[in-house]
Structure 1
């Protein structure tokens, strides 16, 4: 076999290995993340969170309580979870975890959100750095 043919075979073999075993090989790269949504309103909040692959179902968060879930960021860094919120003050559907935005901003791989009378607040430490206002 010629050198050019050997390189082509090696290249195809590497692509095959990556496609079928890439996720296992890259396991340390897709670290675990948690999202916690706390209801600080006086009334209940109903949420329904989904990603492309997962439907987390409908949950009612009582006042002063929280709902949280964990997952792993995909190898490509495109993981996205969005949640629909229904409250007495308003509602809306918002991107609650977007890997490229939230991996750098979420402390210790946990993203904290607070549901308040004026909307949903995302926290970087103790300060609000993202604010989604309620849609009427």
Structure 2
């Protein structure tokens, strides 16, 4: 009985290590295309980390790649977008909302004068208005 009590912490450690290794990291790509006539300033946060401000020229795009290992984690990416008089802060990837509609773990956004569109099965579908 003593040897079992001695080995119990080791068994527990092995089981928790094994169960943690079963959690698979998922990678997704976020792409933002500027379809405005002015430069678009993007200020994004991925998994709570501020990645800075990046300008996207008219007709240009910027892409981000991020891994997450918690399928229950909801908001993964938010971006503040500014272009002239157009402003807004948007949730660009929410695992619960977007895991099914962003095919192949890719969310492709198109920024236009009336708002933001998401590519859903090859079609640009309106999602957000500017603030």
**TM-score, length of structure 2 as denominator length:** 0.80
Q: Does 1:121 align with 2:117?
A: yes
- Structure in which a larger fraction of residues adopt helix: 1
Gaps of 5+ in 1: none
- Structure in which a larger fraction of residues adopt strand: 2
* Equivalent residues in 2 for 1:95-110, closer than 5 Å: 95-110=91-106
After superposition, what is the alpha-carbon deviation per residue over 1:74-113, rounded to whole angstroms, capped at 9, x for unaligned? Answer: 2243151100011124111010011111111112211100
Cα RMSD after superposing both structures: 2.7
Detail structure 1 runs of 4+ shifted over 6 Å in the superposition. Answer: none
Answer yes or no: is the 8 Å Cα contact 2:31–2:107 preserved in 1: yes
**Count of residues paired in the alignment:** 126
Match for residue 78 of structure 2? 82
Match for residue 88 of structure 2? 92
CA distance in 1, matches of 2:39, 2:27: 29
Q: Does 1:36 align with 2:56?
A: no
After superposition, what is the alpha-carbon deviation per residue over 1:20-53, rounded to whole angstroms, capped at 9, x for unaligned? Answer: 971xx135x3221100000011111001000343
Gaps of 5+ in 2: none
